Structure 1
């Protein structure tokens, strides 16, 4: 399944507690909590380019599925990880104790990030 497209955030759960847990400053949490961010994904085979725009903040990540890469996190930190496909419609990676699962179902992308027993979930629709 190809993830390419533009997706706008529809709703999210546990944004504030999760962002606090990963060390995002309180002022950025308050600025970011109501922004309906847009994610743009360009997938060509195993190569993936991901651009996430949250108001003035833009996060760019590029990776090849199954190969080690360096990703920028929401706190601006760079981490080494491997993004893998699980089945046809899930991209999964783990970094700094966080498991991230991005699942595509039709025109809806659900990203679930788990840190210990804290689960942050974002649901975005294709635009």
Structure 2
């Protein structure tokens, strides 16, 4: 149950370049640059509910079970099918335009999203 809880962004690296490659509009990039993204995770064994509140005041909740295909949604509203896997304690998901890994390290939620050679690394503290 390491992921369970409410998390707030502390730092982001590679934000602007990643967002541009992911097709996020400039005005949304600007709003989100210094925004403290709130992530709330409810974990029950291999079942997860993963919610994020974005700077546009839009909230996205994706529910999934490890190793089972599920319906997911991006911040842009794009719906897609994905299978979240657990690899060495890390949650791994292939979104339509990028690959996302979430892990707990040193009591922090570390999220790494990769599109080509561009990496967005977000570190969040538990609140």
With normalisation by structure 2, the TM-score equals 0.93
**Divergent runs of 4+, >6 A:** none
The answer to whether residue 71 in structure 2 is matched with residue 74 in structure 1 is no
Contact 2:9-2:36 within 8 A present in 1 as well: yes
CA offsets 1:62-109 (integer angstroms, 9 cap, x no match):
11111001111132211211001112x210111224111101124201
CA offsets 1:34-74 (integer angstroms, 9 cap, x no match):
11011000000111001101231211111111100111113
Show the counterpart of 2:23: 23
Query: CA 1:41–1:18 in structure 2 vs 1: closer, same or farther (change >3 Å)?
Result: same
Distance (Å, rounded) in 1 between the aligned partners of 2:110 and 2:26: 25
Show the counterpart of 2:64: 63
Helix, strand or coil for the counterpart of 2:76? coil
Show the counterpart of 2:105: 105
Show the counterpart of 1:118: 118
Show the counterpart of 1:6: 6
Contact 2:7-2:40 within 8 A present in 1 as well: yes
Structure 1, unaligned runs of 5 or more: none
With normalisation by structure 1, the TM-score equals 0.93
Structure 2, unaligned runs of 5 or more: none
Distance (Å, rounded) in 2 between the aligned partners of 1:57 and 1:35: 13
